[in-house]
Amino acid sequence: MAVIEELIRVEDDKTLSFGNYLMDEKKKILDFEFEGDMYKVKTYNKITKLEKNGRLLYESVSGTTVHNFNLDEKEIIFSVEGKEDAQITLELDVEQDYRLYIGQVQVGKMKSNLAGKISFSVDFCNGSQQVEIKKV
């Protein structure tokens, strides 16, 4: 996989790819329209952040590149890569239970907080990781 030079793009399968963890300076794209929603991405080697309609959707510290990000009512699926291990935060439904899978292994069950956020760490020692989060 490779970083996203244009910072955010729509893939042929109608998923989003975004982020560039190789940049030393922060760059952002505002008002990227996709399926009637407005997205904003900020990214560089320290952080990658994606907002949808002014609401946080994805944030990683350190920066990452996300491929084929797909979100629906029941699950979120994406591949993520980075130079350093990352702490990822997603804003989902409030106080909802989710199952987290990394590399097709169930890592655990978690509940989103009052703001709808869940956080988890991803280790890149084996390269990019497939992440799947399913609503319970």
Q: Which fold has domain 8-135?
A: Chondroitinase Ac; Chain A, domain 3 (2.60.220)
Please provide the DSSP assignment of 70-132 as one string.
EE-SSEEEEEEE-SS-EEEEEE-STT-EEEEEETTEEEEEEE--TT-EEEEEE--TTS-EEEE
In the chain, where are the structural domains located? Answer: 8-135
- What is this structure's pTM? 0.94
Cβ(74)–Cβ(125) under 8 Å? no
Comparing C-alpha atoms, which of 58, 70, 56, 81 is closest to residue 10? 70
Q: How far apart are CA 46 and CA 23, in angstroms?
A: 9
Structure tokens at 46: 């320290």
One digit per residue, the tens of pLDDT, for the chain of length 136 reads: 678 889 999 999 999 999 999 999 999 999 999 999 999 999 999 999 999 999 999 999 999 999 999 999 999 999 999 999 999 999 999 999 999 999 989 999 999 999 999 999 999 987 899 999 999 9
Is the Cβ–Cβ distance between 43 and 25 less than 8 Å? no
